[in-house]
Every structure is written in structure tokens, then in C-alpha cells.
Amino acid sequence: MIEIFTRVSIRKFQDRPVENEKITQLLRAAMAAPSAGNQQPWEFFVVTDKSKIEALSQISPYAACAKNAPAVIVPCYKTEGMRWPETVLIDLSCATENLLLEIASLGLGGVWLCAAPLEDRMEKAEAVLGNPEGLRAFAVVPVGYPDESRTQQDRFDESRIHFL
Ligand SMILES: Cc1cc2nc3c(=O)[nH]c(=O)nc-3n(C[C@H](O)[C@H](O)[C@H](O)COP(=O)(O)O)c2cc1C
């Protein structure tokens, strides 16, 4: 899959909305992710309200780039009824990586902005979402048409491979 080797974090966005069909396709990719016991502990909030986007950009000093995105996706995880609660953050990581790869595949840009497991950031994000019951905010992912471009850094390091 080419996007694995071309995706980069995009933090600058054109002033242009993302089509609804593309948002749906992004979430289709996110929900295609593997999860422990196939428990799929995720729910996704799609935020396009400008004042809510601005509030999400303030969950941490490292989230400011969300401010000018036309849409922000907030993957959340369920806190109840999971067979494997210990793995929900791992499950959400898989879904969020799928989301980022599909963002790149559709010619869009985005970046994973950290919420979980940092309690203060999670609470700030959840407040923006209206404190949905039984859900915790996992990450904040601004999405839009890129207004910057970069080549992916080559991180391949043979010395980190250990054949036994
Ligand atoms: C768990 C996680 C948390 C991250 N949190 C932030 C963040 O809060 N703010 C930010 O600007 N980038 C954040 N990033 C993006 C990383 O900085 C970025 O992926 C890394 O520098 C590598 O660059 P690349 O994505 O362009 O390959 C995060 C990435 C991950 C996986």
C-alpha cells in the first residue's frame, strides 16, 4: 500500500470543505481496522462547527493546527461492555492509523493530535462533544485539503531488525 510510504502529518489546510462522501469513506476505512476479539470499541464524531473546532484546537498546546481545518474527526472508545477493555486504546490506534492512511489515499491531509491517555486533554475534548455518556475521547484528527506538502522521512533502520 503506497500510502504507508507517502503519508505525512499535515497541519495546514486549504479553506475548502471535505465532501461528505469522502468523510464517510474515511470512516469506512477506520472501522475496517482490526480489534481485539473484533470488539470494535469505537464511535466517531465528525465536527464541522467552527466554534467547536476552535475549542478542539485548544485541548493542548500541540493541537493548535486543528483550528483552520474544515473538519475534525474525534475517534472515541466505549467504556462499557467491552470483552477486552485492556486493549481499547490499541484498537483505537489501529482505527486511527487506518483513518490517516485513507486520508492520504483520498488526497486529503490530516494529523493525529494526542488526547488519550492524557486525562486533561481527553476531558477537554469530551466537553466539546457534549460529554457523551460511556465514551472517552481518544484523539483529535483535523482533516482537509492540504496546504503544505512534504516527502516522508525514511525511517527504515536495518539495525532494529533481529532475526533469530
Ligand atoms: C500517538 C500520537 C500522538 C501525536 N500527537 C500529536 C500532537 O499532539 N500534535 C501534533 O502536532 N502531532 C502529533 N502527532 C504527530 C507526530 O508528531 C508525527 O506523526 C511524527 O512527528 C512523525 O511525522 P509524520 O506523521 O509526518 O511521519 C502524534 C502522533 C501520534 C502517533
C-beta of residue 100 within 8 angstroms of C-beta of residue 110:
yes
Q: What are phi and psi of 109, to 5 degrees?
A: -130, 155
Residue 149 maps to a domain = no
- Work out the average pLDDT over 68-82: 97
Domain holding 59, by residue range, is: 18-143
- Work out the average pLDDT over 70-94: 98
Cell 504507508 sits at which residue?
A: 4
**What CATH code is carried by the domain that includes residue 125?**
3.40.109.10
Domain count, the chain: 1
- Work out the average pLDDT over 67-75: 98
How far apart, in whole angstroms, are the C-alpha atoms of residue 129 and residue 56? 9
Q: Mutation test of ligand 1: which of 5, 6, 9, 121 has the most ligand atoms closer than 8 Å to its C-beta?
A: 9
Q: From 99, 57, 60, 58, select the one nearest 76 (Cα to Cα).
A: 99
pLDDT in tens, 2-61: 999 999 999 999 999 999 999 999 999 999 999 999 999 999 999 999 999 999 999 999
Name residues contacting ligand 1 (CB within 6 A). 8-9, 60, 62-63, 65, 111-114, 152
* Ligand 1 centroid – CA 24 distance (Å): 23
Given a cut of 90, whether residue 1 has pLDDT beyond it is no
Please state the pTM of the whole predicted model: 0.97
How far apart, in whole angstroms, are the C-alpha atoms of residue 85 and residue 151? 37
Residue 132 maps to a domain = yes
- What atom of ligand 1 comes closest to residue 100's alpha carbon? 25
**Strand pairing class (139-144; 109-110):** antiparallel
pLDDT in tens, 126-157: 999 999 999 999 999 999 999 999 999 999 99
* Ligand 1 centroid – CA 21 distance (Å): 26
pLDDT in tens, 105-119: 999 999 999 999 999
Residue 150 maps to a domain = no
